Amino acid sequence: MPVNLALATKLPRVGTTIFTTMSQLAAEHSAVNLGQGFPDFDVPPFLVEALAQAMREGHNQYAPMAGVPALREAIAEKAAGLYGARVDAGSDITVTSGATEAIFCAVHAAVRAGDEVIVLDPCYDSYEPAIDLAGARAVHVPLVEPDFHVDWQRVCEAITPRTRMLIVNSPNNPTGAVFSAADLDALAAILRETRVLLLSDEVYEHIVFDGAVHQSVLRHPELAARSFVVSSFGKTYHCTGWKLGHCIAPPALSAEFRKVHQYVTFCSFNPAQHALARMMREHPEHHLELPAFYQDKRDRFRALLADTPFRPLPVAGTYFQLADYSAISDLDDLAFCRWLTVEKGVTAIPLSPFLAEPPPGQRLVRFCFAKSDATQQAAAERLRTL
């Protein structure tokens, strides 16, 4: 008799991610892909040359498990300069294979079976699978429309004796909302008398607009003392395919984080770590000028959308633009994005995969404006035909 080798899935609600699905559909129909969040312009030339030089110099074997010391030191210096944070490069910083790995490792370092983890909807789609695989339960607290701010009273009411972690994301993917200093104070007040740890997803830390500054939890010592703070080199340096990120956490949290990290990837792309250390030290103007760089792209894309039936929502950070398509179609957002790709040749991402319970009648999609002027223009010409 044949043996039944079928697996009982650990992730019954998970299939192929919406980003992969829509990018495949875009390729099949030669659509302008404004869906998946990746730039279509070049990595800084200095960084490319620094990577090649690192490989020529022989940095092609395993990196130290926690990350190349020069890169961790550069990260610590940046955290001090931008956020006034005192971070120890040796004990507090771990380089990871992308921010998604860092999120996974933080959850699995801290969360146990039966725990609860609060997430704020809409939220990035990797959070809940990591929570599920830890045997814990995600508790969804919706952000407040139309500006997607946090109702901190609702967050407070969601905390129970089982709550082990709260995941926050500012600047927020997919909404573009950002925290204020008052948000950090409210968050600290809520957590002060609890055992709840904080996972702060800050991968878009350098993409904040209109003169605002990024309110990292590293600015707030009380929050930093209980936080895993996750960042992404790919978002900052236009090299998402390099899959490098990092996590900053106090020594006790970092020690547990590294126990997981060493058995997930052990270490990350060695020559790129050396290249990024040089880039951060020799060209800090890159991350300092990134807000203006992406604000120009945001403003240009919003101006192009003005000639279409889409209604763009405000964007305070990230390189994503939410847009209301109510004037175009009554289709649900997934069906609309498929139609837009197949029939009109432009790909967006539906908002519903970021939500546990999408509001009835919501008609919002997410466009990525981290694209060249030519790509933005090509998409706009097709959208004007709607």
E strand spans, the chain: 32-33, 93-96, 116-121, 137-142, 163-169, 197-201, 227-232, 245-248, 311-312, 320-324, 346-347, 349-350, 364-368
Chain-centroid distance of CA 282 in Å reads 26
pLDDT digits (tens, 9 = 90+) for 292-349: 999 999 999 999 999 999 999 999 999 999 999 999 999 999 999 999 999 999 999 9
pLDDT band at 13 (very low <50, low <70, confident <90, very high): confident
CATH 3.40.640.10 placement within the chain: 59-285
Give the residue with greater pLDDT, 190 vs 16: 190
Strand pairing class (137-142; 116-121): parallel
> Which of 249, 279, 334, 305 has its CA nearest to residue 49?
279
Please tell me what DSSP assigns to residue 344: H
Alpha carbons within 13 A on the beta-carbon side of 365: 33
Identify the pLDDT of residue 15: 85
CA distance linking residue 270 with residue 28, whole number of Å = 35
Confirm if 165 and 221 have CB atoms less than 8 A apart. no
Identify the pLDDT of residue 1: 65
Residue 48 in this model has a pLDDT that exceeds 90: yes
Q: Provide the mean pLDDT of the chain.
A: 97
- Arch. (CATH architecture) of 18-43+287-383: Alpha-Beta Complex (3.90)
CA distance linking residue 108 with residue 259, whole number of Å = 10
- % of the chain at pLDDT higher than 70: 100
Instruction: Supply the DSSP string of 85-116, one letter for each residue.
Output: ----TTTSEEEESSHHHHHHHHHHHH--TT-E
Query: Which residues make Cβ contacts (< 8 Å) with residue 4, sequence separation at least 6?
Result: none
Residue 16 in this model has a pLDDT that exceeds 90: no
What's the whole-model pTM score? Answer: 0.96
pLDDT band at 45 (very low <50, low <70, confident <90, very high): very high
CA distance linking residue 35 with residue 42, whole number of Å = 18
Write phi, then psi, for 347 (nearest 5 degrees).
-110, 130
CATH 3.90.1150.10 placement within the chain: 18-43+287-383
For range 141-168, the mean pLDDT: 97
Q: If DSSP codes are grouped into helix, strand and coil, which group holds residue 75? A: helix
For range 220-237, the mean pLDDT: 98
Residue 2 in this model has a pLDDT that exceeds 80: no
C-alpha distances in Å from residue 94, one per residue of 18, 200, 229, 267: 29, 15, 10, 9
pLDDT digits (tens, 9 = 90+) for 110-131: 999 999 999 999 999 999 999 9
- Arch. (CATH architecture) of 59-285: 3-Layer(aba) Sandwich (3.40)
Identify the pLDDT of residue 312: 98
pLDDT band at 4 (very low <50, low <70, confident <90, very high): confident
> Which of 277, 304, 10, 263 has its CA nearest to residue 134?
10
Is residue 316 classed exposed, middle or buried when 0-12, 13-18 and 19+ CB atoms within 10 A define those classes? buried
Write phi, then psi, for 202 (nearest 5 degrees).
-120, 40
Identify the pLDDT of residue 7: 87
